[in-house]
Amino acid sequence: MERHPVRLGFLIAVGVLLAVGLAVALSSLSTVLITVGTALFVAVGLNPLVTRLVARGLSRGVSVLIVTLGVLALLGALLLVIVPIIVDQVRLLATELPSLLADLPRQEWYLDLDESTGGGIGQLRDWLSSTIVDPNTWLALGGGVLQATASIAGGVGNTVFIAILTLYFLAGLPRITAAFYRLTPRSTREQTVDLTEDILAGVGNYLSGMAVLAAMNAVFSFIVLTIAGNPFAAVLAFLALLITFIPLVGSVISTVIVTLVCLMVSPPSALWVGIALVAYMQVEAYVLTPRVLSRAVTIPGSLVLIGAMVGGTLLGLLGALVAVPVTAALLLIIERVIVPRQELA
């Protein structure tokens, strides 16, 4: 290379161009990669259910069909029951929000909080009130609704594609993993198989457990809010269902949002609703989570939080959910592959 500097420069330039081209290609394919990754992730999450049915003597095809029909029936029932309620309550919330804001200055807790913040709460209320009655706000929202409608239409198509791809992945997961194992060197194949199976089982159990915990949180929130007479119980419960998927902080965020909405509707009920949700958080943290996620891969809480923050920054809610099992998989690889090699070095 020292005798042929032109050749060296040419090779470096070609390498840089290839790297740039690969980065551009990956950026262009980011949507496709996220779609495929989401489908594979969901398939891995549903795989423990299929495995349990196979262990009972059913074929994998029949097991996949039963799980798929069960998921579709659950989603269909959820849409038929929850969506009309949510639409009505969102409309009710939009109608009553101005009167709720106008009634705030007559409540003692608001006056005390406004005085303690030096009028900051009052300024925030005035801004919200003026924004709501401003026609430009609703014009902007109208344009946003049109954009949102187009986004929803695209999202529905993307969801259907993910569902079909998930079905293919779920049915062919044993063949996919077997093909991956054949690509690994024979000398390390046994270790690769054990490690991969543990990762897949841990990820599947984690996703199944998080779905159960989120559903339980949503049901409990709905029951508490219904008893409290909150008119937005279904909306807040559905919001809790989504937010609870965020590791560690999801339940806290959900509790804060629900309590604040209750505070605007009925301050007396907000107190015991908040107490009930905080008590449930303790039960969830010390009783439900250890039992539900006992078969999942465990990682330190600090790494869970860091991984959720990184994943959420990159991919939003999906990234926060994916980050935890990815972190657990990396820890398994470090524990079973890198650390033993370091010990032998």
> Cα dist. 272→205, 216, 278 in Å?
34, 19, 10
Residues 281 and 271: beta-carbon distance below 8 Å? no
Four-CA torsion 263, 264, 265, 271, nearest 10 degrees: 10
Task: Report the distance separating Cα 165 and Cα 312, nearest Å.
Answer: 24
Four-CA torsion 183, 184, 185, 187, nearest 10 degrees: -140
Chain Cα centroid distance, residue 344: 40
pLDDT reported for residue 170: 86
Task: Report the distance separating Cα 340 and Cα 196, nearest Å.
Answer: 17
Task: Report the distance separating Cα 200 and Cα 198, nearest Å.
Answer: 6
The secondary structure of residue 106, as a DSSP letter, is G
pLDDT reported for residue 343: 76
Task: Report residue 169's pLDDT band, with 50, 70 and 90 as the boundaries.
Answer: confident
Residues 55 and 201: beta-carbon distance below 8 Å? no
pLDDT of 254 higher than 60: yes
103-114: pLDDT as tens digits: 666 666 666 666
pTM of the model: 0.63
Amino acid at 219: V
Residue predicted with more confidence, 61 or 293:
61
pLDDT reported for residue 75: 76
Task: Report the distance separating Cα 76 and Cα 215, nearest Å.
Answer: 16
Chain Cα centroid distance, residue 118: 38
Q: Apex CA 284: angle with CA 66 and CA 81, to 5°?
A: 45
Mean pLDDT within 246-259: 81
228-246: pLDDT as tens digits: 888 778 878 888 888 887 7
| Through-space distance between the first and last CA atoms of the chain, rounded to whole angstroms | 33
Cα–Cα nearest to 202, from 297, 71, 107: 297
pLDDT of 334 higher than 70: yes
Supply the Cα-derived Rg of the chain in whole angstroms.
26
Helices assigned H by DSSP within the chain: 5-28, 30-55, 60-103, 108-116, 120-133, 135-182, 186-227, 233-243, 250-265, 267-283, 289-292, 301-333, 339-344
> Can you tell me whether residue 245 is helix, strand or coil?
coil
Task: Report the distance separating Cα 202 and Cα 197, nearest Å.
Answer: 8
Mean pLDDT within 198-222: 83
Mean pLDDT within 295-324: 67
Residues 192 and 329: beta-carbon distance below 8 Å? no
> Cα dist. 48→9, 151, 179, 205, 210 in Å?
53, 33, 20, 7, 13
pLDDT of 311 higher than 60: yes
Average pLDDT score over the chain: 75
Task: Report the distance separating Cα 318 and Cα 211, nearest Å.
Answer: 13
